[in-house]
Amino acid sequence: MRRLKKLVKNILESELYDNYTPNGAFATGGIVTKIQSAHFLMNRGKAMFLGSGFDLSDAESFLIDKTHKGGTLFIPYGVDEALFYEEKGVKNGN
């Protein structure tokens, strides 16, 4: 079983084509497409935040309060985590 990651700095090639089985009643299995989208952006020096569509508190915290409490942040390849947070003015809320 895979666990939710708070920060992703690297996506393995195998993860881009992995088979995922949705476990929740509302899951549609679209996570591979989301990972491929994150990989596309990371390769182009852009970040991506992915959070729940049912509980928007993590997205609100990240976008409005500038605090990364939950959800997954994909940062561009080769970018230092601490430097990224500092440049964007985002606090790592653990």
Q: How far apart are CA 85 and CA 13, in angstroms?
A: 26
State if pTM tops 0.85: no
Q: How far apart are CA 50 and CA 78, in angstroms?
A: 20
Confidence of residue 32 (pLDDT cuts 50, 70, 90): confident
Confidence of residue 20 (pLDDT cuts 50, 70, 90): low
Residue pointed to by tokens 């003015």: 89
